[in-house]
Amino acid sequence: MMANAREVRCPTCKKAGDWFATPFGPFCSKRCRLVDLGKWLGEENKISEPLRPDHFKDFENLNEEDMDKPK
């Protein structure tokens, strides 16, 4: 059994260590953090289509209707 109470596993490379003691926690290194970030961004781009002006137009209309209502 490990005596290290704060040991975590790096989500990228699964290496165990006290990664929260580093600026990259819970990742063991800057590289692993960037790899994980890139993975997430890649998956999101696959799932959702890129933002288009149409999407923002919908939001603008919603906000205008809510905020411009005179009371």
Query: Which residue ranges make up the site for Zn ion (CB under 5 A)?
Result: 10, 12-13, 28, 32
Q: Report the distance separating Cα 50 and Cα 59, nearest Å.
A: 16
Which of 13/41 has CB closer to Zn ion?
13
As measured in angstroms, the least distance from the Cβ of 36 to Zn ion is: 9
Which two tokens mark 39?
Answer: 């993975």
As measured in angstroms, the least distance from the Cβ of 29 to Zn ion is: 6
Which of 3/34 has CB closer to Zn ion?
34
